[in-house]
């Protein structure tokens, strides 16, 4: 009878530990889902930093920041994303997904033309702003943007 009780306690212990681990996993899953539903706050320094970084940059990036600033001043009150001009679908560039496209829009890059005209200094600034080094060159965003422009006509 002693071994029977030992086996029963062992099985019950495993069941309790399994239930606790499952419960903790559910808590973690719900926390991740809540964080995904919560909108991210825009970086407070983005417009100023982008404007300062572009002060000595190319005309394409200066135009991008100018367009973003004029759009921001044109909208009053709550911004309506449906009414804002969307630009090109930057996700057509291999390596640019939804998140990177949103980051590019946040710094004022919305058109293939802007990316096609990036200088080395622009690439360095945008890479630093988006917090990834060498990716623009590695994935050849400039060449892809030029190709997409040629296809568009």
The answer on 62 and 21 residing in a single domain is no
| Judgement on whether residues 31 and 71 belong to the same structural domain of the protein | no
What are the two backbone dihedrals, phi and then psi, of residue 36, each rounded to the nearest 5 degrees? -70, -35
- pTM over the 0.85 mark: no
pLDDT band at 4; cut points 50, 70, 90: confident
Residue 126 in contact with residue 117, Cβ under 8 Å? no
Residue 34 shares a structural domain with residue 54: no
pLDDT tens-place string over residues 26-40? 777 766 666 666 554
Using DSSP's 3-state secondary structure scheme, residue 132 falls into coil
- Among 29-33, 34-38, 66-70, 112-116, name the one with the lowest average pLDDT: 66-70
What pLDDT is attached to residue 92?
93
Q: Are residues 116 and 143 in the same domain?
A: yes
- pLDDT > 90 in the chain, percent: 27
Are 32 and 89 in the same domain? Answer: no
Virtual CA dihedral for 25, 30, 32, 37, nearest 10 degrees? 170
Total domains in the fold of the chain: 2
Q: Which residues form the domain of 136?
A: 46-77+84-152
Say whether pLDDT at 46 is over 60: no
CB of 51 within 8 A of CB of 69?
yes
């Amino acid at each position: 009878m002693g071994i029977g009780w030992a086996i029963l306690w062992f099985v019950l212990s495993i069941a309790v530990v399994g239930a606790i681990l499952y419960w903790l996993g559910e808590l973690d899953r719900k926390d991740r889902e809540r964080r995904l539903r919560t909108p991210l706050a825009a970086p407070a320094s983005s417009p100023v930093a982008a404007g300062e970084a572009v002060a000595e940059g190319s005309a394409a990036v200066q135009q991008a920041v100018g367009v973003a600033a004029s759009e921001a001043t044109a909208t009053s009150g709550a911004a309506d994303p449906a009414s804002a001009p969307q630009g090109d679908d930057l996700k057509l560039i291999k390596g640019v997904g939804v998140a990177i496209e949103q980051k590019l829009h946040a710094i004022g890059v919305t058109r293939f033309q802007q990316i096609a005209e990036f200088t080395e200094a622009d690439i360095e600034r945008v890479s630093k702003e988006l917090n990834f080094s060498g990716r623009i060159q590695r994935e050849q965003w400039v060449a892809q943007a030029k190709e997409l422009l040629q296809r568009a006509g």
